[in-house]
């Protein structure tokens, strides 16, 4: 009877050990797949960390620098005012070094700028025409660099958050807007005026 009990105990221990090994293997596979996908999308990303919130110029600069380096995506909100009645809310989304979206009023309509690689597309809601212009890597003084944005943080009441991965649809261009080359338009209108 004792021998039979020991055989059952060993059999149960072997089954429990196998179950534990299978569970560990499944968890390891899931972690491997998640980390592999995050590396494919632009480096080592902080996918398991909590949301980072930045409100001071130094915090915003650090957060945006990390977002442009591909550690996570970022979303910033800010308010610009020319007069108290003319306050406007704007949002910037940053998805690595080459993807950015800015939602801000253009001629009192909701307007958008989307950067895809090295081209910026600009349009306003309700318009069927927009502009495109080259947007090569900006210097430290460019409009949407971490330095420039953080320097305006207090003036514009800026707040930024890390957001993990932004949805690709944010960087999709509208199908009903025709984009023309801004530089060609400008040259054409400048020569027409002469």
171: domain CATH number is: 2.50.20
> 15 and 89 share a domain?
no
Residue 79 within a domain: yes
Residue 64 within a domain: yes
Distance CA 150, CA 163 (A): 18
pLDDT value of residue 159: 93
Residues 145-183 as b or e (16 or more Cβ within 10 Å = b): bbebbbeebeeeebbbbbbeebeeebbeeeeebebeebe
pLDDT value of residue 140: 54
Does 41 score more than 50 pLDDT?
no
Residue of 141, 132, 80 whose CA lies nearest to 105: 80
> 82 and 142 share a domain?
yes
> 113 and 181 share a domain?
yes
> 29 and 62 share a domain?
no
Is residue 63 very low, low, confident or very high in pLDDT (cuts 50, 70, 90)? very high
> 10 and 64 share a domain?
no
Range with lowest mean pLDDT among 50-59, 73-82, 101-110, 177-186:
177-186
Does 9 score more than 80 pLDDT?
no
> 2 and 81 share a domain?
no
Q: What is the pLDDT of residues 111-153, one digit of tens each?
A: 999 988 888 999 999 999 999 988 765 655 567 788 888 888 8
Q: What percent of the chain has pLDDT over 70?
A: 66
Domain that holds residue 34: 1-40
Q: Is the pTM of this model over 0.75?
A: no
Does 28 score more than 80 pLDDT?
no
Distances in whole angstroms, Cα of residue 34 to Cα of each of 27, 69, 74, 118, 170: 11, 19, 20, 29, 22
Does 62 score more than 90 pLDDT?
yes
Distance CA 47, CA 153 (A): 26
> 36 and 57 share a domain?
no
**Phi and psi at residue 123, to the nearest 5°:** -160, 165
Distance CA 47, CA 56 (A): 24
> 69 and 92 share a domain?
yes
């Amino acid at each position: 009877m004792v021998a039979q009990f020991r055989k059952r105990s060993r059999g149960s221990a072997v089954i429990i050990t196998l179950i534990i090994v299978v569970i560990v293997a499944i968890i390891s596979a899931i972690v491997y797949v998640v980390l592999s996908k995050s590396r494919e999308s632009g480096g080592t990303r902080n996918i398991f960390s909590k949301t980072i919130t930045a409100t001071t110029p130094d915090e915003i600069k650090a957060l945006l620098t990390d977002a442009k380096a591909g550690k996570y995506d970022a979303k910033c909100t800010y308010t610009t005012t020319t007069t108290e009645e003319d306050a406007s809310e704007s949002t910037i989304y940053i998805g690595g070094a080459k993807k950015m979206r800015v939602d801000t009023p253009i001629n009192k309509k909701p307007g958008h700028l989307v950067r895809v690689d090295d081209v910026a597309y600009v349009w306003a809601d309700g318009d069927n025409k927009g502009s495109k212009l080259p947007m090569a890597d900006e210097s430290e003084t460019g409009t949407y660099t971490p330095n420039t944005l953080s320097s305006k943080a207090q003036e514009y009441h800026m707040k930024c958050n890390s957001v993990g991965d932004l949805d690709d649809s944010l960087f999709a261009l509208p199908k009903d807007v025709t984009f023309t080359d801004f530089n060609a338009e400008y040259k054409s209108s400048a020569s027409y005026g002469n």
